[in-house]
Amino acid sequence: MAAAATCGAGVLSSGCVASTAGRSSTTSFQRRSKASGADGGGPRLLSIAGTRPSVRNGQLLVSTGLPALDQLLGGGLAVGTVLLIEEDKYSIYSPLLFKYFLAEGIVNGHTLLVASAKEKPADILQELPAPLLDDNGKKELEDVHNSKTPESDVNMKIAWRYQLQPKMQVGPVSSSRFGHYYDVSKRIPQELLGSSKWHGFFLPEHITSDLKGEPCSLSGDYMKLLQFIQNIIYTEGFDGSNPQKKQKNILRIGIQNFGSPFWGDDICCTENSDNSHRLTKFFYVLRGLLRTSLSACIITMPTHLIQNKAITARVRNLSDTVVGLESFIGSEKETNSLYKDYHGLIHIRKIPRLNNLTCDESDVKDLAFKLKRKLFTIEFLTEAAAH
């Protein structure tokens, strides 16, 4: 009882994970339950805009905003999980995946929570790419933002020619609000931003000089972010504990450049950090919050800068899905003729095996990406380059 009371008061500890699991009956990891609508009773999560069930296990999925990446991850990002994006060396391409995820949320009318220590969340949202929509897509977009309960059978036909190669099961899609394409040369329309709901956490605005005790040995910075996320989940009903506020929507959480010096962490500066467990404890508590809520989280992190590789291994282990970007800039591959058509490699390091104790490893190898004038694309490497 004491642990549950402490969590409810907004003071997180490592023991809060178990108590948060008991306070809500809405969890994304119930394959057949009222929450999933499998028995015909209770809320039907499958009717939420921008979601669909996994064909593998019935898990509720959201799109990452990049349909090619959705395919690689087994159909999309599972609700209640963490996607870790390991940033490329110069952080040129990883911000695009971060913005795709947020833009997909706005297009589908999802609630956003944007956290950064470098850029103001409002500025990040202004830089989101514009969706590529035909007439049917534009009509559907109006339905999402003009109605709280849009019909789920509105179809959208998208610019299919930008998908992966045919052997990755490419074909015309007529799904209802799942996976859109974006033009990185244009900015998202202001009317979409104006009708969206979002919450921003800009670290410099939360720093105070009177930081006291640090529960869980977390830094005050990480602690404030966890409390902010917890407050949004509970007060807006994403955990389902309050029937009057029970959400029929998804909370998309985006955390940028986490673990970098911008967040006041020294793991990128020294191998023997005095607070080497701060990140892993943050991930542990965060996962406890996500598991019992209609939330999905993407975190970009400069893992290539972390001096102690044991920390990197622990963070990967605590993430549900891990995707790494390797840019060719400054490397020998930049001038290698075999890679002349690409800008870097994408590594699917981990995909979740939900409701199991182990995780899957992607059987798709030799993937490359390139940034065209309008689009970020993922393709198979040519046979020569792959070997």
What DSSP assignment string belongs to 299-321? Answer: EEE-GGG-S-HHHHHHHHHH-SE
Q: What are all long-range contacts of 2-11, with beta carbons under 8 Å and residues at least 24 apart?
A: 7/230, 8/234, 10/227, 10/230, 10/231, 11/215, 11/227
Given a contact cutoff of 8 angstroms between Cβ atoms, the answer to whether 188 and 106 are in contact is yes
What DSSP assignment string belongs to 149-166? Answer: S--TT------GGGS--G
User: What pLDDT shows up at residue 133?
Assistant: 74
User: What pLDDT shows up at residue 343?
Assistant: 95
Given a contact cutoff of 8 angstroms between Cβ atoms, the answer to whether 258 and 82 are in contact is no
Q: What's the Rg (C-alpha) of the chain?
A: 20
Pairing of β 198-202 and β 111-116: parallel
How far is the C-alpha of 127 from the C-alpha of 130, rounded, in Å?
Answer: 9
pLDDT tens, position by position, 191-204: 999 999 999 999 99
User: What pLDDT shows up at residue 357?
Assistant: 58
For the chain, how far is it from start to end, CA to CA, in angstroms? 58
User: What pLDDT shows up at residue 164?
Assistant: 43
Stretches where the chain sits below pLDDT 50 are 1-11, 13-26, 30-45, 148-176, 210-217, 384
Q: How many residues does the chain have?
A: 387
User: What pLDDT shows up at residue 170?
Assistant: 32
Beta-carbon count within 10 A of 203 CB:
17
User: What pLDDT shows up at residue 178?
Assistant: 79
Task: Spell 304-320 as b/e; 16+ CB within 10 A means b.
Answer: eebeeeebbebbbebbb
Beta-carbon count within 10 A of 7 CB:
23
pLDDT tens, position by position, 229-254: 999 999 999 987 766 666 689 999 99
3-state secondary structure of 255: strand
Nearest to 251 by CA among 206, 194, 297: 297
How far is the C-alpha of 325 from the C-alpha of 148, rounded, in Å?
Answer: 37
Pairing of β 77-78 and β 367-371: unpaired
| Residue 55 to residues 58, 63, 154, 160, 332, Cα–Cα distance (Å) | 6, 14, 21, 21, 41
| Residue 358 to residues 30, 72, 271, 293, Cα–Cα distance (Å) | 18, 18, 29, 22
Looking at residue 203, the DSSP 8-state letter turns out to be G
Phi and psi torsions of 165, nearest 5°: -65, 160
User: What pLDDT shows up at residue 172?
Assistant: 31
Nearest to 35 by CA among 49, 20, 24: 24
User: What pLDDT shows up at residue 207?
Assistant: 79
Token pair 């996500």: residue:
290
Q: What is the pTM for the complete model shown?
A: 0.78
Q: HSE of 275 in the Cβ direction (CA atoms, 13 Å)?
A: 20
How far is the C-alpha of 293 from the C-alpha of 288, rounded, in Å?
Answer: 9
